[in-house]
Structure 1
């Protein structure tokens, strides 16, 4: 683990009573990269995200972000430090408009209403939702809700975004559009940690991949190396891989 790593996760562990959901996991995310985290259902991926962003506390280990130990900081402070995320199940404020949902995040760094309003409009244009700015969030399609999740994270002006299955349920065209958005943001310097089940997407966006299985990191490397690793194939396919 290098001190220069943008995000360093060191022996992260999370226990729930007798269950070890994340077991001494260590990895790093370098500034400006897109790192994918993959694994079968129940592997501990979302738990790992919750440890990084503060929704859950560590049972052991450490998390260092931008050179600072953040393992004991609450989620809103981690957001102020430059960390944004989406959630596996999109839960917008359905009583607010699309723009108002984004403004909630924008107020974190823009105290004046007009500044938050302008920031929200800019973010909505970035993700292709400007035409739906005044629509109620309850009226958005699944694809639009996924984009809104990204927009709410972007409104924080983060340096790192954690995307939790943001492609789930999208058709091929919609997936391509989200990939293009991620790559565009990455080209401008945004760093991403991505949970993704679509392995074609993983190959398309990530030069480096880590694999969790039953809370343990079982592989790390390029997408080609990892997806051809017998341990990874077995984790995904079980007895059919033997």
Structure 2
């Protein structure tokens, strides 16, 4: 699933192409990807100007003029890409939006259909709730706020994955951050001492910023807005490296289950609770 660095990469790349453009014809192949009534989608979007492209957690938001937001969640396998309008249409392309006065169109492709689209206006059913339920952005967290969040009696990985607590982290960057901070994923968050809390917040921010710099991590589905893969895969320290030596101490990386997810640790660098 694309996480914060992957979505941030797509947003930055799309912003340069979409900002200032006017949306044209809307072609919707599958209505069930739209949250809410899909019928007025064309009417709500056609003729709207893109004022800004931004990210909130793992969501891509097109701020449209006037007072409309088009929100994309990529789910497990979604891609949001700009294509030449004459290019062949890939299988599982569910939504196409033409850009007026260009030969380009925005295409949303999602083979597994865990993603979705919201068109939010002032009076829409999902307005306000879709984004307001998300927790704070990890790159904007202060140490005090982070410590408050970690005072809850939950396993640390489960807490980091909870989008209502901290928005944007997923399995990859949770594992990488916990490893970098020498924190075991099964430890109760409230048991972390002040030094561990500081190390973990620093590790989260450092890991995310580095992943953004390398345009995210590609295993299978994730692609940048131009269709090319991210380059952070070779920088992973533990994620999907079970059976390989730790790059820090040489201990074999292990796989276990935490928060219902496959989790990768170094048992030496991350001693159990």
Please state which structure has a larger fraction of its residues in helix.
1
The structure with the largest alpha-carbon Rg is: 2
The alignment's TM-score, normalised by the length of structure 2, stands at 0.27
Higher relative contact order (CA 8 A, sep 6+): 1
The alignment's TM-score, normalised by the length of structure 1, stands at 0.30
